[in-house]
């Protein structure tokens, strides 16, 4: 919202006059010029039209960290200041199961399996304590970060600080396995592929969130108090299990703001609702009517008006429902979006219709909204989309079903642990527990297991075989299809013959051989099933678990699956989030761009007119294809 100043003809206040002992001199009151924002009339009276949220921008954080588990590629000389900084870090921290570094630990910075890295991240706007984020790492003294594990690293505001320099505020911490380019040979440096930089998917966690502050354009105790009451009545602390109020007045121009725990991973959504919330909540129904009429008259404002309706809460639902069958798509979707986010089950039927009959972004939007609504009919409708030929639609349906399965699992675990006397389990822990495993046979049709304690594998036994891998957030491999058996017989060789899979016949096991970058060989056998193969790739043999495995990282497992798909051994498609992004761009090109309402029916374009939406070139550049070496074996003669 643009801020402008509007002059007034008279003073808004009176100042006292100091009189001297021998005269009647006086002073003139200075006129106060209020700030009035240039906003559409329908948005006047909202918090965002009279105040600004400070601290709602992405926050850049960084630090120096220690990576272990390298394949002899680290331990190079370090600049003196960085070496002194990291030696001090080793003395101050502790190395334990959580990845911290212990006083007196035996870590040596010259060890070829150890490296110092620069760790950087952008914490999402308004992220509260406990929120997670992706982290970027780059090597300081290593030729490759393959196989590396980052120990707990403090993330501070600004550039990484050295010993003796001013220490900025610590906002979070980062740790976890490093994800590198999975489509290259992990044993050698491929031309054009860097292995000195990577990411840790979901490896950052906010531990000391920056405070949010709502600053009024014009100081007013009455207006500030009205904003506090509006926010706290819409987001009562008791509803979300929080102890502290969401908003707390400081003075006439400042309000302290806190993201409710329910919105921990959706802080930006919470901030949108606060900005579009009416300050005076006494006339909620009248406001809802105004927003609906504005939707009809100004479809171009559909996004903002949808937030306004949702910010009102349940009192807006009767007015949203009037728009569920509105003929114009943008206003209809805006009302359905608000209704679905408010949990209105009546929004389910029209959203399912859009999801199953429409094309373009509105279809994907409808699928995502259905994940928030209850009812088995929605599950069956979404499961039908898992077989869709469009990749973006298929992945959107899976993600909606996975979210619904997590909610069902959370309800089950909450009933077992939170209301069953197990007071030692916090709601936050139970919530995380609900995402670790999803049992088979659920109505959502999504099964989940954690593999080797490092990444998730979701199984969706529907449709054509497909392997989909995530490249941000939680590391996850999604396997679609009922038949996960590998085509036999075969011999597949990859990564300069360092990995080989051999199967002589239909009924026999798969013989597997892997030679790690240090030259150690591992031989084992596994059933010719994709599920068992993924487990074997990632398995880390230990004293407690003697099952053989290659101990591959998440990025290496992804690369191995890509190699198998290219060899023809795995009869499945392979897709990444980059492929999904390209699918979204195709969907956008099939979506009608918002246009001014025509003056007459003759001015309207044909119904099938498509206006392509242009995207930045960087978002549509395809990743280079890497194909493995394949040695086919002909069937045995009878």
Does residue 521 register a pLDDT over 60? yes
- CA–CA gap between residue 255 and residue 245 (Å, rounded): 12
Cα separation values, 528 from 307, 485, 491, 512, 551, Å = 51, 6, 12, 11, 19
Please, which residues have CB within 8 angstroms of residue 459's CB and are 6 or more apart in sequence?
Answer: 440, 446, 447, 448, 449, 478, 479, 531
pLDDT in tens, 586-596: 666 665 443 33
Question: Considering only CA atoms, which of 62, 80, 61 is closest in space to residue 164?
Answer: 80
Does residue 397 register a pLDDT over 80? yes
Question: Considering only CA atoms, which of 222, 224, 295, 243 is closest in space to residue 43?
Answer: 295
- Residue 507: other Cβ atoms inside 10 A: 8
Torsion-angle region of 495 (φ positive above 0: left; ψ -120 to 50: alpha; else: beta): left
Torsion-angle region of 160 (φ positive above 0: left; ψ -120 to 50: alpha; else: beta): beta
| Per-residue DSSP letter, 109 | T
Question: Residue 62 has what pLDDT?
Answer: 94
Structure tokens given for 499: 């990995």
Tell me if 448 sits within 8 A of 470, measured CB to CB. no
Tell me if 476 sits within 8 A of 485, measured CB to CB. no
Question: Residue 520 has what pLDDT?
Answer: 83
Exposure class string for 79-100: b at 16+ Cβ within 10 A, else e: eeebbebbeebbeebebeeebe
State the average pLDDT over residues 293-308.
Answer: 95
- Residue 598: other Cβ atoms inside 10 A: 10
Q: How many angstroms from the chain centroid is the CA of residue 273?
A: 19
Give the pLDDT band (50/70/90) at residue 182: confident
Average pLDDT, rounded, for the chain = 81
pLDDT in tens, 406-435: 999 988 888 777 765 555 677 777 888 888
Does residue 571 register a pLDDT over 70? yes
Q: How many angstroms from the chain centroid is the CA of residue 139?
A: 25
Question: Residue 27 has what pLDDT?
Answer: 57
State the average pLDDT over residues 161-188.
Answer: 83
- CA–CA gap between residue 385 and residue 141 (Å, rounded): 48
- DSSP-assigned beta bridge partners for residue 478: 458, 468
Question: Residue 399 has what pLDDT?
Answer: 95
- CA–CA gap between residue 404 and residue 394 (Å, rounded): 16
Question: Considering only CA atoms, which of 501, 522, 635 is closest in space to residue 569?
Answer: 501
- CA–CA gap between residue 59 and residue 263 (Å, rounded): 18
Instruction: For the sheet with 447-451, list strands across it.
Output: 447-451, 455-460, 476-480, 466-469, 573-576
- CA–CA gap between residue 567 and residue 627 (Å, rounded): 8
Q: Which residue has the tokens 């003669």?
A: 637
Question: Considering only CA atoms, which of 609, 603, 571 is closest in space to residue 590?
Answer: 609
- CA–CA gap between residue 295 and residue 327 (Å, rounded): 12
Does residue 607 register a pLDDT over 50? no
Tell me if 43 sits within 8 A of 49, measured CB to CB. yes
Does residue 103 register a pLDDT over 50? no
pLDDT in tens, 489-517: 888 888 878 888 888 876 678 899 998 87
- CA–CA gap between residue 472 and residue 375 (Å, rounded): 30
Question: Residue 566 has what pLDDT?
Answer: 73
Instruction: Output the DSSP codes for 79-97.
Output: -HHHHHHHHHHHHHS-BST
Coil vs helix vs strand at 621? coil
- Taking the C-alpha atoms of 87, 92, 97 and 98 in order, what is their torsion angle to the nearest 10 degrees? -100
Give the pLDDT band (50/70/90) at residue 36: confident
Question: Residue 146 has what pLDDT?
Answer: 85
Tell me if 468 sits within 8 A of 480, measured CB to CB. yes
Tell me if 117 sits within 8 A of 150, measured CB to CB. yes
Does residue 125 register a pLDDT over 80? yes
State the average pLDDT over residues 47-68.
Answer: 92
- CA–CA gap between residue 162 and residue 589 (Å, rounded): 49
The reply to whether omega before 489 is within 30° of 0 (cis) is yes
- CA–CA gap between residue 56 and residue 349 (Å, rounded): 36
With a pLDDT cut of 90, the percent of the chain lying above it is 43
Structure tokens given for 443: 């109505």
């Amino acid at each position: 919202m643009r801020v402008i100043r509007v002059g007034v003809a008279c003073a808004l206040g009176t100042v006292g006059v100091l009189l001297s002992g021998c005269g009647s001199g006086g002073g003139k009151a200075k006129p106060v010029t209020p700030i009035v924002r240039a906003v559409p009339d329908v948005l006047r009276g909202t918090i965002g039209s009279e105040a600004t949220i400070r601290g709602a921008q992405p926050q850049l954080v960084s630090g120096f960290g220690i990576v272990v588990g390298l394949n002899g590629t680290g331990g190079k000389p370090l600049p003196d200041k960085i070496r002194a900084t990291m030696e001090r870090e080793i003395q101050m921290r502790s190395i334990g199961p959580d990845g911290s570094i212990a006083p007196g630990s035996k870590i040596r910075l010259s060890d070829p399996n150890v490296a110092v890295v620069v760790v950087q991240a952008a914490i999402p706007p308004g992220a509260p304590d406990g929120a997670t984020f992706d982290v970027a790492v780059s090597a300081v003294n290593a030729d490759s970060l393959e196989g590396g594990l980052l120990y707990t690293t403090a993330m501070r505001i600004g550039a990484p600080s050295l010993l003796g320099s001013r220490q900025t505020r610590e906002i979070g911490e980062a740790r976890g396995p490093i994800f590198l380019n999975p489509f290259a040979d992990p044993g050698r440096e491929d031309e054009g592929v860097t292995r000195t930089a990577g990411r840790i998917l979901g490896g950052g966690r906010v531990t000391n969130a920056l405070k949010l502050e709502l600053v009024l354009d014009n100081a007013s105790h009455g207006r500030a108090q009205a904003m506090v009451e509006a926010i706290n009545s819409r987001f009562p602390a008791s509803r979300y299990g929080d102890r502290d109020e969401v908003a707390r007045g400081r003075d006439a121009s400042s309000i302290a703001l806190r993201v409710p725990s329910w919105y921990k991973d959706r802080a930006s959504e919470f901030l949108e609702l606060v900005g579009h919330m009416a300050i005076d909540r006494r006339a909620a129904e009248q406001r809802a009517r105004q927003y609906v009429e504005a939707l009809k008259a100004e479809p171009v404002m559909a996004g903002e008006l949808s937030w306004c309706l949702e910010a009102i809460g349940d009192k807006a639902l009767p007015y949203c429902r009037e728009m569920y069958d509105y003929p114009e798509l943008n206003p209809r979707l805006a009302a359905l979006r608000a209704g679905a986010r408010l949990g209105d089950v009546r929004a389910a039927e029209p959203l399912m219709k859009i999801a199953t009959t429409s094309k373009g972004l509105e279809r994907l939007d409808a699928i995502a909204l259905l994940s928030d609504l209850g009812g088995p009919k929605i599950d069956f409708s979404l499961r039908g989309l898992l077989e869709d030929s469009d990749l973006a639609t298929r992945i959107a349906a899976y993600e909606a079903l996975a979210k619904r399965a997590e909610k069902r699992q959370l309800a089950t675990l909450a009933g077992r642990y939170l209301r069953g006397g197990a007071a030692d389990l916090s709601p936050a822990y139970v919530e995380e527990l609900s995402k670790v495993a999803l049992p088979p046979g659920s109505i959502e049709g999504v099964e989940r297991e954690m593999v080797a304690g490092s990444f998730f594998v979701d199984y969706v036994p529907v449709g054509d075989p497909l392997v989909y891998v995530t490249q941000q957030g939680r590391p996850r491999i999604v396997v679609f299809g009922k038949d996960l058996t590998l085509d036999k017989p075969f011999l597949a060789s990859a990564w300069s013959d360092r990995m080989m899979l051999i199967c002589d016949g239909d009924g026999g096991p798969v013989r597997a051989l892997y030679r790690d970058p240090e030259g150690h060989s591992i031989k084992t056998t596994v059933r010719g099933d994709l599920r068992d193969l993924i487990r074997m790739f990632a398995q880390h043999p230990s004293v407690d678990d003697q099952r053989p495995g290659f101990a591959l990282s998440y990025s290496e497992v992804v690369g191995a699956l890509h190699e198998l798909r290219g060899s023809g051994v795995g009869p499945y498609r392979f897709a990444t989030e980059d492929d999904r992004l390209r699918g979204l761009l195709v969907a956008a090109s099939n979506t009608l761009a918002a246009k001014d309402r025509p003056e007459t029916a003759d001015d309207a374009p044909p119904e099938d007119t498509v206006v392509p939406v242009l995207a930045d070139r960087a978002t549509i550049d395809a990743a280079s294809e890497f194909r493995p070496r394949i040695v086919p074996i002909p069937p045995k003669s009878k």
